[in-house]
Chains A and B, each alone.
Chain A
């Protein structure tokens, strides 16, 4: 599903070139649930932006769902984001003027799709929030807002779901509910990549990849989760 080969990213700060990612090689198979860990400044957010096609790498290759997206222009990347990626953010990022159903349907708007409301309601049902479809984000709890965001991420049935600290703004109980939804999605075949800095959150995934100073430093399989996974363990391939 994801293949990164020799991926590097530099930021230019004044005259200085700051490397954010160095020589990253990563292979994520279809149907896996991968957590990316690392302290701040480790490059995990940069990697997330590149995986999410919000940013481009400086060097190296990124193949997503069989398509090389390394050199696509902004509008093509927008198309990829729309069709192939579902985002879940720490701060939910919902439009506060729009209802839950309208927020969920937003990716369909940019796809020019039909039956947007019906599909939005079905997506909300999957996160058990169909009864709040007409409410605005301000009228929902934090956990409900994140469930709306998840519904928005899965409405186009994208091959990849990217979650950036999805439980960062939630209390422990709500976090467990949200993580349970991700596990359900994983069991039903979705590929999920989740960035977190909390070990116990990461352990909901089947595989944990750790970054430090822009380098991939460890890649481990979580045994219990891997066995629990209906699709079998994710194969970890780390090139030297």
Chain B
């Protein structure tokens, strides 16, 4: 047989397969539905996972990139966490600015959760002592009034800048600027408010009151223990070196012997981002696997219906064989049927999945991101399933003995 004749034969066998599917519309539709649901479910699930990953990473990036966050390590002695040990102090921050290269700014924080009052309103919030650099380092912006300045810091003034959540809790619709609030019974003047960053995580970034670091140390909390020390580095490339230098510097300042564990930890937003995206990837894989089960069930549906079809059409197979169909011709005809089922089912499933992801996204509680990767994966797996689950019935058909098949009623 010439190549052209062979090509004509394959084309005609494919036509025969498609016509045979078209003749059994209900059955074909129901079998495809299994694949449609499977592919759609995979796409929706993966897009929910991807959406979660993106929203987490954009929130982390919103906290400020190029940032190293140093926290007082817990001096660990057995299972007891000794948090009262003084490990990170404002002087460490000054030393870092002076001695480490590529440091743009540092933002030491002292904080405590405490009651804040305005007239009869009160709320429990995080009161944080910060330096003027805090605003830039943490990617916050002023909405009304001004932020804390150097003069506030030098003179330990009793002024405060409020986060959006606190403004709502204490003032409702009234302007907070120049009002006087009480923090632990001490009067503070409100000089400004912050733009909302929007909540969504475990911690509300708008639920905080900012006061000068010196005021917090001397007038309010009477402690030098920093909750954290954020260090902004000039560029992402300089992060690793800066982290090493800061570690060496702090170990020296804290008199830690070589080999002993540090009494602080340095984390970067990048670490956080990596961890978060690892968690999201696991989450996405899990969702995809669950949805993949329904795709598998769809594939088994194809195999089931193809086996029924082969049995029903035994006589047809016998006729075709008697007239000169070779094994591979019969195999090809039935394989095309299962591939068309999974292929068209896969395409409709992609449409259903993309539409479904849009609807889920529009409902609000979850962000969804439909990626080309998820579509290609789901469609590819569907095609693979069509071939895999179609092969056995097609092989069974091709193996039929023509004499037996012709006798079949």
A interface residue numbers (CB < 8 A to B): 49, 52, 54-55, 74-75, 78-79, 81-83, 87, 89, 93-95, 97, 106-107, 109-114, 152
Contacts and interface: CB of A to CB of B under 8 A. Distances in A.
Contacts of A79: 324, 326
Contacts of B328: 75
A55 B323 contact: no
A97 B23 contact: yes
B316 A95 contact: yes
Given A95-B319, A107-B323, A107-B324, 15 more contacts: A52-B322, A54-B402, A78-B325, A89-B406, A93-B315, A93-B318, A93-B322, A97-B19, A106-B323, A109-B13, A110-B324, A110-B325, A112-B9, A113-B8, A114-B8
Contacts of B13: 109
A87 B402 CA distance: 13
A54 B324 CA distance: 10
A50 B384 CA distance: 40
Contacts, number: 71
Interface string B276-307: 00000000000000000000000000000000
A54 B322 contact: yes
B403 A78 contact: no
Contacts of B16: 109
B9 A109 contact: yes
Nearest to B328: A75
The 8 closest A-B pairs by CB, nearest first: A82-B324, A112-B5, A112-B9, A110-B324, A78-B326, A75-B326, A112-B8, A93-B319
Contacts of B315: 93
Given A110-B9, A112-B2, A112-B9, A54 B403 contact: yes
A109 B324 CA distance: 9
Nearest to A106: B323
A128 B16 CA distance: 27
Nearest to B4: A112
A87 B326 CA distance: 16
Contacts of A89: 406
A110 B323 contact: yes
A112 B325 CA distance: 11
A112 B12 CA distance: 9
A81 to B, nearest CB: 5
What's the interface size class on B, roughly? Answer: 20 to 34
Q: Which of B4, B6, B322, B324 has the most CB of A within 10 A?
A: B324
14 contacts: A52-B322, A54-B403, A75-B326, A81-B322, A82-B323, A87-B323, A95-B316, A97-B23, A109-B12, A110-B326, A110-B329, A111-B1, A112-B6, A114-B8
B403 A55 contact: yes
A80 B203 CA distance: 80
A83 B324 CA distance: 8
B314 to A, nearest CB: 12
A240 B94 CA distance: 120
Contacts of B7: 112
Given A78-B321, A95-B319, A113 B326 contact: no
Contacts of B1: 111-112
Contacts of A75: 326-328
A61 to B, nearest CB: 21
Q: Which of A55, A89, A110 has the most CB of B within 10 A?
A: A110
B90 to A, nearest CB: 88
A75 B332 CA distance: 14
Given A54-B403, A55-B403, A81 B6 contact: no
A74 B325 contact: no
B140 interface: no
A55 B320 CA distance: 15
Contacts of B318: 93
Contacts of B8: 112-114
Nearest to A91: B406
Contact of B324 (A93, A111, A114): A111
A78 B329 CA distance: 11
B5 to A, nearest CB: 3
B326 to A, nearest CB: 4
Contact of B20 (A94, A97, A106, A109): A97
Contacts of B323: 81-82, 87, 106-107, 110, 152
Contacts of B322: 52, 54, 81, 87, 93
Interface in B328-377: 328-329
A49 B403 contact: yes
A93 B406 contact: yes
A109 B319 CA distance: 13
Nearest to B15: A109
Contacts of A95: 316, 319
B5 A106 contact: no
